[in-house]
Structure 1
Amino acid sequence: MALVATYFFGGSLFYGINEKKRFIADFQAEALHLFADSLENLSPMQQYQALAFLVKGYYAKDWAQTKADYDHHQQKQVYYFSIEFLPGRLLASNLLNLGIKDTVEAGLKQLDIDIPDLYAQEGDPGLGNGGLGRLASAFLDSMAADGMAGNGNGIRYQYGLFKQRFVDGYQVELPDDWLRDPYVWETRKENRAVIVRFGGSVYLTPCDNGGLEPVYQDTDDVLAVPYDIAMVGHHNHMVNTMRLWSAEPVPGHAHSLAEKSRINAITQILYPDDSDTAGQELRLRQEYFFTSAGIQSIITHYRRFHQDLHLLPNFVAIHINDTHPAMAVLELMRVLLDDGGLSWEEAWQITVQTLSYTNHTLMAEALETWPEEMFARLMPRLYQIAQEVDHRFRQTYTPRFGGELIQRCAPIADGYLRMAYLAVIGSHAVNGVAKIHSELLKSSVLKDLYTIFPERFNNKTNGITPRRWVQVANPELSELIDSAIDTGWRSDPSLLVPLAAHLHDEKFLKALHTAKKSQ
């Protein structure tokens, strides 16, 4: 029998007409394994869970191999820090990227399973709210598809922002309890947990090498536990990782119910109300929590293979998506100074070479700031480092640009830490999200810093992932495009350009309209 097609399922070859048969057998076995029952006796949600766990198993070997290959070849890795991610529902996307969507759907059809209803069982992960999170997820998707070693770093929120319902004609906001059912796509990595320290006091004491060693007292420690989610590359056997952190009490420590509740609140909800001091402190704790956990994790992984921290920028790139992770500037400095024993000058050079920053707002009043008193109380060591960053910035650039300009863009002024300015000062590259946005950054909201660091500013225009928004969202439209310009566009969006030749093709336009209306 001739080979009709070849697919890779977690390293196993599926040939021709046997691939559907093999999938059905695997699906039935997974259902039995999970629920001790046959597929036909399961609810649609249980059928979805069985399928999702099966698909997760299909890419597991590639996921492990991708990480092993990055380590073996010491490939430079990008870490994308964002307080939001909006990956959306992953089942159909993962099937598409693995190249098995048609096969699986054919098997489901043979099993008489309602395919749209099965897909509808998957909930949207409550990890973001809008463009900020979608941009972050689009970058993760693109990096995996392009074979780039890219990782996400964020928060595993227990609840999303909220759900809207209309009850008796009134809009009602309900909690987005997206983790009520087990989230199939995540993998808890308790062996990679780190401790994040809040509060207490820190004083510096001289050490043998002539530097200063911080001594912490009465800190409020929180365990950061990572949950990893696979970002499956498109037909390339590469699987990257989005790492989300959950706040938990430190094992072995005595915690009151109030303390446990305070720890739990850190990762309980996306964007808690910050209209009062308590809400502002919670937001600040959230931001430091995932930033510190991510930086510590990165440095721990790096030091498994390298002893020389001076080489960090050769192997690590950390990107700050908006100002929420801007404390990465201070936290990386803390780790390099306190744990790595580097001098200030060495640590600062490494930090600037490692970090980059995306700005998302043109309104000066919307740029994130934190009261000095609050910041110093919650992160005393970071505040000490922020003061030194501010002092050295003023000392270095005031003679060249004058005190008035430096006062306008210094990281600390008028009783506040100004996070956007800190992010620019501590990064080697700064971008907006559209050409006009990037130009306005230079001429308005970040004009003073552009005057000082013109070489750092560039543009990265927002894009979309055509796999999700065309191939998954509208298969009929995708097939129509295939019929017009072949299938190359599915992997290379630049190959959509010849579609312009059909701009006045009435037959094609009518089919296009029908395909768009079908969704």
Structure 2
Amino acid sequence: MSLTKEQFITEFKDIALKLYAAPLDDLSTQQLYQALALLTRSYIGQPWAETKKRYDQEETKQVFYFSIEFLPGRLLQSNLLNLGILSEVEAGLNELGLRPQKIFDAEADPGLGNGGLGRLASAFMDAMASVGMAGNGNGIRYQYGLFKQAFVNGYQVELPDDWMRNGFAWETRKENRAVTVKFGGWVELRPSRSGNLRVIYHNTDDVLAVPYDVAMVGYHNQVVNNLRLWSAEAPINAGTDFTLEQKERINQITQILYPDDSDASGKQLRLRQEYFFTSAGIQSIVRHYRRTHNSMAGFADRVAIHINDTHPAMAIPELMRVLMDDEHVSWDEAWRITLKVMSYTNHTLLSEALEVWPIDMFSGMVPRIYQIIQEIDRRFRLVFVPQFGQAMIDRIAPLGNGQVRMAYLASIGSHAINGVAPIHSELLKKDVLPDLYQIFPERFNNKTNGITPRRWIQIGDRPLSHLLDKKIGTTWRKNPLALRQLHDFADDTRFLDDLNAAKAENKRALAKYIDQVVHVKVDPDAIFDVQIKRLHAYKRQLLHVLGILDAYLAIKRGEKRPKRLHIFGAKAAP
């Protein structure tokens, strides 16, 4: 979009005055952030509406990315960059005597994810919008994130991550798109006059799923896609009143990211979360499709649904449920559509860590979904036991050992299965899902984890960005493959000196930050050996610690080692 510094100053002053009835000088940093975020949202509104309209008019095939986590990070700077107005906004704020970075830092980090799973989901959202792909996210609007971590007298303390305390400027509530998700009760299958089975629900525990939409802004292309996050609320039924206890039980579904599942009630809550956002998403997609189509025959030509790990694997039986029970499609046709629509990313390399649920718990919570999985299991066995033998099919059928096995369900019900790196994808074939690979070799492929260079280089590393512009031009900002031109300068002493200078500038900034936050002075000339991810006993931090011990012992033996600073950034389970 086009925006001058002068236009921005005028519009920023105007919206701040309308919001707070006070001049800029009287506003807090949080108020300045809210004003700037709402102004930025006003710039996003028109391309967002136009993108949705174009997709519908052109009947564009749309991707729906289902993930229990999204980790988008702070959105203000990213949105300004992608709109193409970050420089003008920063110049305007500076002219007003305000510090842009201080305002950007006032934004809370959305507590919608935990680590790599959620960051991958958000990287895909950014990438799909930036390449002009019609890509939508589907997840949970958690009230509280993972947890805030503090240290008191040397001990870790967990505090609630109330990231929505000041509201979330980027969301739009769409109560007119709410759907009902049914839990529990029992299901009656009654023959209808047409010969089909009519599904009748009794004594269900209904929850209203209300969507909140967040704009996903493409880079300099006027494309704005949608991330839909679902919030659980009590249904508004005439003549039905909910007690505070009932409302609290409903609110719990979208209250906390990763509730403690060390006991049965925690496991049940986690299962409710998984079915809640999966069912809401599937119902929403089918409803939107049916607004402009008289039958489901072309559904798979217009819709692709991707399952990010097994948490949304119930999307497979849920789509079958909606197709058969609500749209009156036959089993065979529903399965054909489902298989063509669904694809699955596996994130787990340990077979013992693959997600499973006790049948008793699962069938009690989602009885109709369990019925459909039973039929998927029966038909799978009927087809493949004669070809591959009872023992092999017993190992990989959706139901076995008293459990519902989500990775096997996801693999059987998807037309594509991928890992997140070449070695990972090969290990899926050889170690994690070898029997399924033997049956469906054509389904297995690789999709290497992506990143968003717009955020991590252009915003996160400005010294490097300016150096790249100077050396190879600005094309890399839109097309990362242009970075391959840097191979030509691998032996260019002057360029390498400039690159080291940019790195040194960043290290000095980090050293200053460490001093401010944890009051430790570090040497910016040391090698910075950094690991930032969740802290678990089995993760690679353990190898890092062994490396530190090795270096320590070597130094005690009198060996010379380069000066090295080890930095760990992580949250750890209590």
- Which residue does the alignment assign to 2:31? 46
Q: 1:461 aligns with which of 448, 451, 458?
A: 448
- Partner Cα separation in structure 2 for residue 416 and residue 203 of structure 1: 23
Give the Å deviation of 1:507. 2.6
- Which residue does the alignment assign to 1:480? 467
- Partner Cα separation in structure 1 for residue 151 and residue 262 of structure 2: 26
- Which residue does the alignment assign to 2:62? 77
Aligned letter for 1:357? Y
Q: 2:226 aligns with which of 241, 264, 275?
A: 241
Alignment of 1:263-274 (within 5 A): 263-274=250-261
Give the Å deviation of 1:505. 2.6
- Which residue does the alignment assign to 1:168? 153
| Structure 2: gaps spanning 5 or more residues | 507-574
Aligned letter for 1:383? Y
Give the Å deviation of 1:59. 1.1
- Which residue does the alignment assign to 2:7? 22
**Aligned pair 1:141/2:131, yes or no?**
no
Q: 1:190 aligns with which of 175, 178, 182?
A: 175
Give the Å deviation of 1:394. 0.3
Give the Å deviation of 1:34. 1.0
**Aligned pair 1:121/2:106, yes or no?**
yes
- Which residue does the alignment assign to 1:285? 272
- Partner Cα separation in structure 2 for residue 430 and residue 91 of structure 1: 34
Give the Å deviation of 1:508. 2.1
- Which residue does the alignment assign to 2:490? 503
Farther-moved stretch of structure 1 (260-269 vs 246-255)? 246-255
**Aligned pair 1:437/2:415, yes or no?**
no
- Partner Cα separation in structure 2 for residue 50 and residue 32 of structure 1: 9
Deviations 1:238-272 (Å, cap 9, x if unpaired)? 00000000000011331111111110000001110
Q: Secondary structure at the match of 1:444?
A: helix
**Aligned pair 1:64/2:49, yes or no?**
yes
**Aligned pair 1:55/2:40, yes or no?**
yes
Equivalent pair of 1:474/1:516 in contact (CA under 8 Å) = no
Q: 1:416 aligns with which of 378, 386, 403?
A: 403
Q: Secondary structure at the match of 2:73?
A: coil
- Partner Cα separation in structure 1 for residue 52 and residue 489 of structure 2: 43
- Partner Cα separation in structure 1 for residue 501 and residue 18 of structure 2: 42
**Percent of paired sites with the same residue:** 62
Give the Å deviation of 1:412. 0.2
Deviations 1:136-173 (Å, cap 9, x if unpaired)? 00000000000000000000000001111122322211
- Partner Cα separation in structure 2 for residue 46 and residue 473 of structure 1: 24
Give the Å deviation of 1:37. 1.1
- Partner Cα separation in structure 2 for residue 188 and residue 475 of structure 1: 35
- Which residue does the alignment assign to 1:3? none
Aligned letter for 1:62? P
Q: Secondary structure at the match of 2:230?
A: strand
Aligned letter for 2:139? G
- Which residue does the alignment assign to 2:337? 350
Aligned letter for 1:232? V
- Which residue does the alignment assign to 1:212? 197
**Aligned pair 1:159/2:144, yes or no?**
yes
- Partner Cα separation in structure 1 for residue 318 and residue 194 of structure 2: 22
**Aligned pair 1:371/2:365, yes or no?**
no
Q: 2:458 aligns with which of 471, 482, 485?
A: 471
- Which residue does the alignment assign to 1:392? 379
- Which residue does the alignment assign to 2:528? none
After TM superposition, the score normalised by the length of structure 1 is: 0.96
Q: Secondary structure at the match of 1:461?
A: coil
- Partner Cα separation in structure 2 for residue 454 and residue 224 of structure 1: 38
Give the Å deviation of 1:33. 1.2
Aligned letter for 1:497? R
Aligned letter for 2:457? V
Q: Secondary structure at the match of 1:264?
A: helix
Give the Å deviation of 1:359. 0.3
Farther-moved stretch of structure 1 (23-32 vs 158-167)? 158-167
- Partner Cα separation in structure 2 for residue 502 and residue 175 of structure 1: 49
Alignment of 1:290-309 (within 5 A): 290-309=277-296
- Which residue does the alignment assign to 2:438? 451
Aligned letter for 1:85? F
**Aligned pair 1:33/2:18, yes or no?**
yes
Aligned letter for 1:80? Y
Deviations 1:455-499 (Å, cap 9, x if unpaired)? 111110112110011001012210110101000000000000011
Q: 1:232 aligns with which of 214, 217, 220?
A: 217
Aligned letter for 2:163? W
- Partner Cα separation in structure 1 for residue 7 and residue 420 of structure 2: 45
- Which residue does the alignment assign to 1:325? 312
In angstroms, what is the RMSD of aligned CA positions? 0.9
- Partner Cα separation in structure 1 for residue 226 and residue 206 of structure 2: 26
- Partner Cα separation in structure 2 for residue 341 and residue 380 of structure 1: 19
- Partner Cα separation in structure 1 for residue 487 and residue 21 of structure 2: 53
